[in-house]
Amino acid sequence: MFNKLKSLKIDYIFIIKTTAVILFLIYLIRLFSRDAIDNVFNLLLVDVETNIDAETTWFLARSRLIFIIFLRWTTLVTLTWAIITPFKSTVYTKNIVGFLGIIVSILNLVFFKDHLIAFNGTASSVGTTRGIQFLAETIVLMILSCLILFNVLKDKLLVKAKDIWKVITIFFTSAFALMPQTILYNLFGNYGEVPKDFTATHIFVIIIPIVLMFIIYFAMRNKTQDSKDIVMIFLAFAGVFQYFYMRRGGLAALPLHLCNTAVILLFFAINFRIKSFFYFSYFANVLGAIAAIILPNYETDFFSFVVIHFGYNHLYAFIVPILGVALGMFPRPVLSHMYKAIAVFTVYFIAVVGLNAWFNNYDNVDYFFTYSDFITDMFGIRKLQYENVVTLSYNDLTFTFYWLYQVLFYLAFVFLMFASWFVYDASYQFIDQNRRLKLKHQQMRMDYLNLLELLDGRDISEPMNLGGVDMIKITNFSKRYGKSTRYAVKNFSLEVNRGEIFGFLGHNGAGKSTTIKSLVGIQSITEGEMEICGYSIKSQPLEAKLRIGYVSDNHAVYEKLTGREYINYVANLYRIEPEVRDERLKDLAKKLSLDHALDQMVKSYSHGMKQKLVVIASLIHEPPVWILDEPLTGLDPISSFQIKEIMKRHAEKGNIVFFSSHVIEVVEKVCTKIAVITQGELTGVYDVSILKDKGVSLEELYMTGIREKIGVSHD
């Protein structure tokens, strides 16, 4: 029984999808047919200027004709969603199709004769080709709407009253995308201005696609990917329907202009996820659409069919590819995608050059402006075009190629495609930086609120852990990099108390630097907690860092400053008074034998001198916690001795000295306590004096721990 019901469900889904495909094919027949309603204008009698009496063009009463226009518009919106919904849908689009589809279907049957008059301009029989097509379209739309409504009722997907506004919003935004391109002319006649040469209307035409693109992006950016995909699919269908809304004939009507081709390719790219088509449109068609919008080649009124059609066609060629990436339907392109787009463009360009030369034997065609003088006139190089011509003859046909102009046109467009790549790349970086900044601000806000909760009414400058003001405390610290499943350090816990010189011992790659970089706040903590003098490095990073002096393992400094300027810069960060700073600098520089070089450029320093300068900078604010990562590497014996002495003096003042090393002899001689880390895990904490009293060699203890950890024999 279960299998039978399952089979019926599959059949039901198959029937809905098949019906949607049939509806799409039937509508295409109407789309490619002529329509008398496109010639009706000025129904509201407010034309700016016309030499035709508007009323002579009416073939229905004015109110009825207006009603038919809006019914036709509503039908198209519903029909488009009806085609899409069986494949991709939301509860809102299902409700639109289920309810509105039935209503408009009934209205279309009631006013069927009016539709036939609007199609042909005169009364005609239902038995005409157009009548049969429209009847079939209406019946199939009604059937599909009933099937979808049944699904809505069966699955209890009725839109709640509080969400009706969402349905209304979807419908009206969809209606704008599918607006009948003659409606402005039908209702109002001429506007009175040609939108070109950067007039006010032309600037409006340039701005509106950009504004619409941002509106769609910001409206959809936080929605689910399914919702974003549905919007992209709808735009792809709307682009095709709006392109073919203008009925064409002859060779010039073939969709071979770049932006016309884009609309067709984007339809297939988005509905069938064809990346090669999409990225060709992304790099080539967007560029062509922008150029066409800025430099249009029409000479007619703003409300005319030609201008509105031009606007819609280039609107979709411009915004759909960009939104396809912005809304995540296609991944951000890499440079290889651009190279493939150039390859596809090359094939396209060669094809249109050849077709222009061939078809102009039969008709006046100019695909992508490779045959006419529109571009050369615009840039004042018409002479270049007509003085560099190659003409070939074959079977009474003449093939004319403006070879130099066409080569230069191709190279210029490829150059602009490369330029667009850099613009896209810069845009991605800007977007990513802003996104990271926004996330950082959100995280900081959450951390601040969390800190207030943890402090439980205490002042924000107080340490979170009052019991840890004299120590470094690491609790269950773990660190993973990126998406790796491997821990660089795992479940590491340690306490270091005031007055201790604490050695952190481990082999190269054991996790010493990882632990230290997290402890000083250079990198994030994956799991666990780290505290400096009671301040959480996660929740109170500024307060914690003010109490740290840090010597990194790379000793990077600003080499175009003098040593004194560098120390002054660091002291200013810690807000150290000049008198105090100068006194400490004098003392530390003398102890490290660097006083003679303080006024020299840092770039002239040796490796050891730079290391000493970093040590001075880390101690200029007398931090209670001094952390050093491999501080003695590469130093001569004298410099090494000097730093070890300073470490001892700093600990004697009641401060903490915590340093990492892989040199056992140094750790054994300097430290009071030692922690050993092996392969990211703590393997032991030892008191050096106790080890000496017991006669235990730190080297043997360390090597035994490593052998046990990595499974190497003691023999």
pLDDT at 658: 95
| Residues above pLDDT 70, as percent of the chain | 97
pLDDT at 712: 39
Residues 370 and 497 in one domain: no
Cβ proximity of 503 and 669 under 8 Å: no
Domain count, the chain: 3
Is the pLDDT at 6 greater than 70? The verdict is no
Residues 448 and 512 in one domain: no
Which residue type is seen at 190? N
| Closest listed residue to residue 555, CA positions, set 607, 496, 597 | 607
Cβ proximity of 358 and 399 under 8 Å: yes
- Domain containing 479 — which CATH number? 3.40.50.300
Model confidence over 578-603: pLDDT tens digits? Answer: 999 999 999 999 999 999 999 999 99
Domain annotation covers residue 657: yes
Residues 324 and 405 in one domain: yes
Domain boundary among 401, 433, 457: 457
Q: What is the mean pLDDT of residues 488-508?
A: 92
Q: What is the mean pLDDT of residues 278-293?
A: 89
Is the pLDDT at 435 greater than 60? The verdict is yes
pLDDT at 12: 80
Phi, psi of 551 (to 5 degrees): -115, 110
Query: How far apart, in whole angstroms, are the C-alpha atoms of residue 391 and residue 377?
Result: 22
pLDDT at 450: 84
- pLDDT higher for 258 or 544? 544
Domain of residue 505: give its range. 467-710
pLDDT at 591: 92
Residues 684 and 580 in one domain: yes
Mean pLDDT, all residues of the chain: 90
Is the pLDDT at 262 greater than 90? The verdict is no
Model confidence over 344-364: pLDDT tens digits? Answer: 899 999 999 999 999 999 999
pLDDT at 627: 95
Residues 205 and 180 in one domain: no
- pLDDT higher for 610 or 444? 610
Helices (H) and strands (E) in the chain, counts: 27, 12
| Residues above pLDDT 90, as percent of the chain | 63
Q: What is the mean pLDDT of residues 312-339?
A: 93
Residues 384 and 477 in one domain: no
Domain annotation covers residue 431: yes
Cβ proximity of 593 and 563 under 8 Å: no
The sheet with strand 487-497 has its strands ordered as 487-497, 471-480, 527-532, 535-536
Cβ proximity of 52 and 206 under 8 Å: no
pLDDT at 56: 80
Is the pLDDT at 38 greater than 90? The verdict is no
Residues 420 and 525 in one domain: no
Residue recorded with tokens 């400490």: 584
Domain annotation covers residue 238: no
pLDDT at 52: 66
Reported as a pLDDT band with limits 50, 70 and 90, residue 32 is confident
pLDDT at 166: 94
Domain annotation covers residue 652: yes
Measure the CA dihedral 96/187/133/107, to 10°: 50
Query: How far apart, in whole angstroms, are the C-alpha atoms of residue 517 and residue 176?
Result: 55
Q: What is the mean pLDDT of residues 478-495?
A: 91
| 562 secondary structure, DSSP code | B
Least confident stretch, 32-46, 469-483, 523-537, 631-645: 32-46
Residues 12 and 33 in one domain: yes
Provide the CA 221 distance to its chain's centre, in angstroms: 9
pLDDT at 690: 87
Domain boundary among 429, 457, 485: 457
pLDDT at 1: 46
pTM check: above 0.85: no
Residues 669 and 657 in one domain: yes
Model confidence over 659-681: pLDDT tens digits? Answer: 988 778 888 888 999 998 988 99
- pLDDT higher for 49 or 695? 695
Is the pLDDT at 198 greater than 80? The verdict is yes
Residues 48 and 179 in one domain: yes
Domain annotation covers residue 235: no
pLDDT at 702: 72
Which residue type is seen at 583? E
Reported as a pLDDT band with limits 50, 70 and 90, residue 391 is very high
Residues 688 and 540 in one domain: yes
Residues 417 and 487 in one domain: no
Domain annotation covers residue 328: yes
Is the pLDDT at 620 greater than 60? The verdict is yes
| 281 secondary structure, DSSP code | I
